């Protein structure tokens, strides 16, 4: 059995999709960390009965980031997840934090990387005339959306589709894909560590 901790800042629809997918077992969601007071994802964690912690960044100074990351690191050490999944976590993590959890942190990005790194990727994809857009799951390194790609899922554009319609289809694709990738990473780790359970 493996476990994943999720970091999120906003709505938390991907957090919920991960929880629903893992509910069938054998893997578990160790907890949710959120940096935004009042974010809807906190209500989802409460409703899903998943342990959660709010770790606000007090101000946009380096000191505040260090303090918040220190708190997140202690909480994660207590939860002992095998994987840390960013699901709409809108902060750039420091190299020190990433080094504390080597090859454990993954991110979901709503574009076919390396296209459209950074913020507002769906809108920026929409504004191109690319016939195919999509989503990417990747390991997090200290660049912006530059880490090793684990999986890319394309999505064909539809003629005349509005931004809202495309966004909805991207989210549906995310909700199917991200839990699947997390499940397979946890299964691989289980197999590596011999945690498959009794023969
Ligand atoms: C998702 O679309 C995710 O791909 C995106 O934030 C959204 C979170 O939605 N992440 C990024 O843009 C990261 N660069 P959610 O809160 O409903 O899961």
Residue 171 appears among annotated catalytic residues: no
The two tokens of residue 150 are 């684990």
Distance, CA 129 to ligand 1 centroid (Å)? 22
Please name every residue paired with 54 in a beta bridge, in sequence order, or none if there are none. Answer: 34
Q: What is the C-alpha separation between 72 and 63, in angstroms, rounded?
A: 14
* The total number of structural domains that make up the chain: 1
Q: What are phi and psi of 9, to 5 degrees?
A: -120, -15
Mean per-residue pLDDT over the chain, rounded: 95
Q: Is residue 198 situated within a structural domain?
A: no
Question: How many angstroms does the Cα of residue 132 sit away from the middle of ligand 1?
Answer: 19
SS (H, E, C) 164-193: HHHHHHHHHHHHHHHHHHHHHHHHHHHHHH
For the CA of 14, the closest atom of ligand 1 is 18
Average pLDDT on 158-183 reads: 97
Quick one: 121 exposed, middle or buried, by C-beta within 10 A (0-12, 13-18, 19+)? buried
Q: For 27-88, where are the E strands, in sequence order?
A: 28-34, 52-54, 83-86
Q: What is the number of the ligand 1 atom nearest to the C-alpha of 110?
A: 4
pLDDT value of residue 58 = 83
What SS3 state is found at 29?
A: strand
Return the closest-CA partner of residue 112 out of 160, 174, 158: 174
Nearest residue (by CA) to ligand 1, atom 6, is: 88
Domain containing residue 19 = 3-193
Tokens read off for 2: 């493996």
pLDDT (tens digit, 9 = 90+) per residue, 9-61? 999 999 999 999 999 999 999 999 999 999 999 999 999 999 999 999 987 66
**pLDDT per position as a tens digit, 52-104:** 999 999 876 668 999 999 999 999 999 999 999 999 999 999 999 999 999 99
Query: Residue 65's domain is classified under what CATH number?
Result: 3.40.50.170
For position 197, what pLDDT does the model report?
Answer: 52
Does 199 map to a domain? no
Ligand 1 centroid vs 109 CA: distance in angstroms?
7
Select from 6, 88, 125, 143 the residue to mutate for testing ligand 1; criterion: most ligand atoms less than 8 Å from CB. 88
Q: Give the torsion sign (CA, 77, 81, 82, 86).
A: negative
Per-residue model confidence (pLDDT) at position 59:
72
Ligand 1 center–CA 46 separation, angstroms:
20
Which atom from ligand 1 is nearest to the alpha carbon of 87?
A: 18
Which residue do the tokens 């493996």 mark?
A: 2
């Amino acid at each position: 059995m493996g476990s994943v901790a999720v970091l999120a800042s906003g709505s938390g629809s991907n957090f919920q999709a991960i929880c629903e997918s893992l509910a069938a077992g054998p893997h578990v969601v160790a907890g949710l960390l959120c940096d935004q007071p009042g974010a809807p994802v906190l209500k989802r964690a409460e409703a899903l009965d998943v342990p959660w912690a709010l770790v606000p960044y007090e101000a946009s100074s380096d000191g505040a980031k260090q303090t918040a990351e220190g708190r997140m690191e202690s909480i994660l050490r207590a939860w002992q997840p095998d994987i840390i999944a960013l699901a709409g976590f809108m902060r750039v993590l420091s190299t020190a934090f990433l080094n504390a959890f080597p090859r454990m942190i993954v991110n979901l990005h709503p574009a076919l990387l390396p296209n459209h790194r950074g913020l507002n990727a769906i809108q920026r994809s929409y504004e191109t005339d690319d016939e195919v857009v999509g989503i990417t799951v990747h390991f997090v390194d200290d660049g912006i959306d530059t880490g090793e790609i684990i999986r890319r899922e394309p999505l064909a554009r539809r003629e005349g589709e509005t931004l809202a319609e495309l966004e909805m289809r991207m989210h549906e694709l995310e909700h199917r894909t991200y839990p699947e990738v997390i499940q397979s990473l946890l299964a691989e780790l289980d197999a590596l560590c011999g945690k498959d359970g009794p023969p």
